[in-house]
C-alpha cells in the first residue's frame, strides 16, 4: 500500500520522491514510518487518498530534515549489525556437502 501511495504522489507531483536522499537513508526513514510531504498536494481529495495509502503501508508522519539528519547519523553498527545475516539461511543436513553452481 505504501508503494502505491508513493507512486500516486510521484504521478501527481511529477517529481521523484526522496530525490536527493541516499537509498539506505530512505530505507531507514520508511522503517521509522516517515514519508514524503503530502501537504505539497494541493487537491484535497487526492491528498487524502494518497495519505490513506501511505498510512495503510505504515507511514505515520512526514519526513523532516531532522529525521533525515538523525538517520544519517546512524553508525555502521547501528545500521547493519541488527540485520539478519545470510549465514544459516541454507542449512545443510548433517553430513551433506554444499553444492556449487546454479
Q: What is the pLDDT of residue 62?
A: 93
Per-residue pLDDT of 49-79, as tens digits, reads: 999 999 999 999 999 989 888 888 876 666 5
The alpha carbon torsion through 21, 81, 90, 92 (nearest 10 deg) reads 170
In this prediction the pTM is 0.70
Amino acid at each position: 500500500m505504501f508503494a502505491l501511495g508513493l507512486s500516486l504522489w510521484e504521478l501527481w507531483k511529477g517529481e521523484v520522491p526522496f530525490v536527493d536522499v541516499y537509498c539506505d537513508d530512505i530505507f531507514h526513514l520508511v522503517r521509522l514510518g516517515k514519508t514524503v510531504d503530502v501537504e505539497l498536494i494541493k487537491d484535497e481529495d487526492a491528498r487524502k487518498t494518497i495519505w490513506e495509502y501511505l498510512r495503510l503501508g505504515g507511514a505515520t508522519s512526514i519526513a523532516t530534515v531532522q529525521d533525515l539528519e538523525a538517520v544519517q547519523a546512524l553508525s555502521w553498527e547501528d545500521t547493519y549489525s541488527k540485520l539478519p545475516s545470510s549465514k544459516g539461511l541454507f542449512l545443510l543436513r548433517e553430513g551433506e556437502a554444499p553444492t556449487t553452481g546454479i
